A and B are shown apart, each in its own frame.
Chain A
Amino acid sequence: MKFTQLLYKQHIGKAKRYVWQHQRERKIVVSKAEEILKSMNFLVQDATEFISRKPKTEFVSSQSALHNNKMIENSIALKESTLDVNSKNYLVFEDYNVLQEGVPQALLLTKTVKLNDKLPEKIQKLITDIPKNINNLSKRSVYTSMIYDAQQVKLPKLKDPDRPAWVFPRMYGITSTRKMQNLSKKFLQLCESLCGLNDAQYKSVIHDGLLSACIGKEDNFLKFSLKIDIMMTSSIPLVPIADVNIDNNFDIPDLYPLHYSIGLSKLDIGNSKLLYPITMDSPLMNVHTIFINHNPEEVKNLTELPVTEDQIHARSMIKSFGAAASCAQQKFGLSVKELPEPIVIQCIQSDGQNFHFSVYQLNTLDIDGKEGIKNFWWSEPSIKLYEEALYKNGQPCLEGYNTDVFKRYLAFYKNK
């Protein structure tokens, strides 16, 4: 109701309130008292801060002690690494990280040269045609692990970038991790049966092993803390593929204006233990092949931009390097730089459909600069195992099956 003289006469209460509501905010010009007092060297404190001050409590130390005694599964802690916290920067590459610049950055980071866009000749010779009955067996493994598996869980949400508001019906099925692990186990078993007891008795398989290696590079310390989904170890180490002092034309790439550590996160110095899944005195401690899973839901860029194929390949390389480095530190001691004998490691990375095969030869752990002995890496482009593997009209359907994948599995298994 409009506030008129008449209303005022009738309702003095409303009038008071009206005045109050318009006058309750008072603008006050701040005086220069604080400045003047400060110029006379008086200590000026904010009154509200002074009141809300709390006495300090001393629970912090006991909390952090609890945190340190966390159990570690699937791995054996070597020793508490003696990281000198103040002198250097600590950078960490976690399991779900990818390198911003992909392969060139990985090569620079680990002082590695990529020798060829092919696997080494020794392994290429082992890739042979396989008879039809074995081909059928491998195809059956694909059916059982990709289609017949009984897992039914919620799959990741689908999004169409052109129609971002559209909500797809939620799909249930087999996760890519499950597919990859199923297939790797089945293929390994098939390889074991094909090669016989003579090969199999020297080999052992570890699931979900945790690795952690810490290596100094120039002004930084790099920590690789990785999970290896399946790790095949053997009592006989793989024979070095190329000569350490080989004179090659391949150069380590230059990333200017970027630094080799771009995109790596700073280490939280809470848990800095060095881990390796096998004890040193085990006869089966040499790494033979690592099978790693690329789960697109977990492995992401820091910026959440789509992960490129180059970055996935770089992840293979970093994982191989991490595994080889921690194996070398086990074998030759923590302070080893130039290895007495190179360590060779084979790596298969997969998301259930795409497979990336690579071989890494670790020659040195002295990764400063670009000169001197370098590490070697052989890698192939990714290959697809199949085009489609799903139920169509209620019938299992596998389209575009590629036999190359199993051939390479077998070659990697046979390699000594």
Chain B
Amino acid sequence: MSAMSLIGCAFARQIVEVCSKAASVSVQLQPKRSQWNLVKKPKPGEKGKSYRRIVHFQDNYTVEPLNVTNLAGRDPVTGRVVAKGIGGGIKHKYHWIQWIRDGPIDLNVPPKEDKVLAVFKDGCRTSFVALVGGDNELRYILATENMKVGDIIRTHRGIPVNHVRAFEGDAYPLGALPKGTIVNCIEKYPGKGGALIHAAGTCGMIMKSDGDRVIVKMPSKKEFSLHQTCMATVGRLSNVLHGSTPIGSAQKNRELGNRPRSGLWQRKSGKHGRKLKAPTPVRKIGVGESNAPKTEILLLNHRPLNTVKA
């Protein structure tokens, strides 16, 4: 008797649950598929975003390889495809490069010395990565061409009267290095970390100094004028053969995370020669950039005007 009443009770509750769902009314409403909504998509390449992956950074710097989420060309905010031709491939963990090379500023203090502990290939970038250690800290930097395990690299932030004699892998301010030095991983703004010249086998060259600024020739042959306290690593970046090595096969390209192309694009024949253009004037970085008035974008959202009903 009691068992029957229990079963009846349970069934009754289930039926009630099925008929009147616990969720609120707004959740039950199905989105209309015939409706077009205005969605503003960002463009690839703006602010250096390629929509290839998100790296899950931690609060403090760590040498632990970080997990990534591959985006396949989608904008994580709207979920829409922004960049075509990205997707799939082998998932690699991200090695967090310490872009800031810190050292003593006082000229009487000898430069900080670090030891190269390992040089290895990283799946997320083209040049090799070096694990270096100094004192009780481990960090990753971009490996230069001839860097090998056991090398000692030096870092100093001071600018002496005479130029320093720098070796490959050392980091000094641009003002401390002599004319003609080959450099990579140059800071755009002092203290903000190396931002220029990261790709495999590339290097810049110090052309001349101009007061408290130094003019550096980029791999693109453009000349940038940077402040003399910007740090730069000496030498050419590793994996020099990367640029001259063909991908090899369509499958290899898929492994790299690129999707097949349409096949419509054809290279121009170049019959009439190259267009000669005047070199662009030297671009001063960090000068006159802060004078532009700050602007803020306000969005007016009126839903009926952002949708089209079929």
Interface residues of A (CB under 8 A from B): 16-17, 20-21, 24-30, 100-101, 164-165, 257-259, 261-264, 302-305
**Per-residue CB proximity of B102-140 to A under 8 Å, as 1/0?**
000000000001110110100000000001011111100
Contact residues in B for A17 (Cβ distance below 8 Å): 305, 308
CB < 8 Å neighbour of B305 from A20, A100, A164, A303: A20
- Contact across chains for A257 and B297 when beta carbons are under 8 A apart: no
B164 within 8 A of A: no
Q: Shortest distance in angstroms between B202's beta carbon and chain A's nearest beta carbon?
A: 25
- Contact across chains for B138 and A262 when beta carbons are under 8 A apart: yes
Interface residues of B (CB under 8 A from A): 38, 63-65, 90, 93, 113-115, 117-118, 120, 131, 133-138, 152, 251, 255, 293-302, 305-306, 308
- Contact across chains for B300 and A24 when beta carbons are under 8 A apart: yes
29 A-B pairs with C-beta separation under 8 A: A16-B305, A17-B305, A17-B308, A20-B302, A21-B306, A24-B300, A24-B306, A25-B299, A26-B300, A28-B296, A28-B297, A28-B298, A29-B296, A30-B293, A30-B295, A100-B138, A101-B117, A165-B251, A257-B114, A258-B136, A259-B136, A262-B135, A262-B136, A302-B63, A302-B64, A302-B138, A303-B118, A303-B138, A304-B65
Contact residues in B for A101 (Cβ distance below 8 Å): 117
CB < 8 Å neighbour of A27 from B117, B138, B296: B296
Closest 7 CB pairs of A and B: A259-B136, A30-B294, A20-B305, A257-B113, A261-B136, A24-B300, A27-B295
Bound form: Cα–Cα A100–B118 in Å: 11
Contact residues in A for B120 (Cβ distance below 8 Å): 305
- Contact across chains for B90 and A165 when beta carbons are under 8 A apart: yes
Bound form: Cα–Cα A26–B299 in Å: 7
Contact residues in B for A29 (Cβ distance below 8 Å): 293-296
Extra contacts, 14 of them, besides A28-B296, A257-B135 (Cβ < 8 A), are A16-B305, A20-B306, A21-B38, A26-B300, A28-B295, A29-B293, A30-B295, A165-B251, A165-B255, A257-B115, A258-B133, A259-B135, A303-B138, A304-B65
Bound form: Cα–Cα A263–B115 in Å: 14
Contact residues in A for B63 (Cβ distance below 8 Å): 302-303
- Contact across chains for A257 and B300 when beta carbons are under 8 A apart: no
Judged by DSSP, the binding face of A is loop
Q: Shortest distance in angstroms between B110's beta carbon and chain A's nearest beta carbon?
A: 11
Q: Shortest distance in angstroms between B36's beta carbon and chain A's nearest beta carbon?
A: 10
Q: Shortest distance in angstroms between A264's beta carbon and chain B's nearest beta carbon?
A: 8
Bound form: Cα–Cα A97–B50 in Å: 36
Bound form: Cα–Cα A60–B136 in Å: 33
Bound form: Cα–Cα A342–B18 in Å: 74
CB < 8 Å neighbour of B118 from A27, A259, A305: A305
Bound form: Cα–Cα A100–B63 in Å: 12
Bound form: Cα–Cα A25–B134 in Å: 50
Nearest A residue to B38, CB-CB: A21
Q: Shortest distance in angstroms between A143's beta carbon and chain B's nearest beta carbon?
A: 40
Q: Shortest distance in angstroms between B273's beta carbon and chain A's nearest beta carbon?
A: 39
Contact residues in B for A302 (Cβ distance below 8 Å): 63-64, 138
Bound form: Cα–Cα A23–B301 in Å: 11
Contact residues in B for A16 (Cβ distance below 8 Å): 305
Q: Shortest distance in angstroms between A324's beta carbon and chain B's nearest beta carbon?
A: 25
Bound form: Cα–Cα A263–B118 in Å: 14
Contact residues in B for A27 (Cβ distance below 8 Å): 295-297
- Given the interface pairs A25-B297, A165-B90, A257-B134, the reply to whether A100 lies near B114 with Cβ below 8 Å is no
- Contact across chains for A303 and B131 when beta carbons are under 8 A apart: yes
Bound form: Cα–Cα A264–B299 in Å: 50
Contact residues in B for A28 (Cβ distance below 8 Å): 295-298
Bound form: Cα–Cα A164–B121 in Å: 13
- Contact across chains for B255 and A164 when beta carbons are under 8 A apart: yes
Contact residues in B for A305 (Cβ distance below 8 Å): 118, 120, 131
Q: Shortest distance in angstroms between A307's beta carbon and chain B's nearest beta carbon?
A: 12
Bound form: Cα–Cα A106–B305 in Å: 69
Nearest B residue to A257, CB-CB: B113
Bound form: Cα–Cα A114–B201 in Å: 43
- Contact across chains for B115 and A258 when beta carbons are under 8 A apart: yes
- Given the interface pairs A17-B305, A257-B114, A257-B134, the reply to whether A30 lies near B296 with Cβ below 8 Å is yes
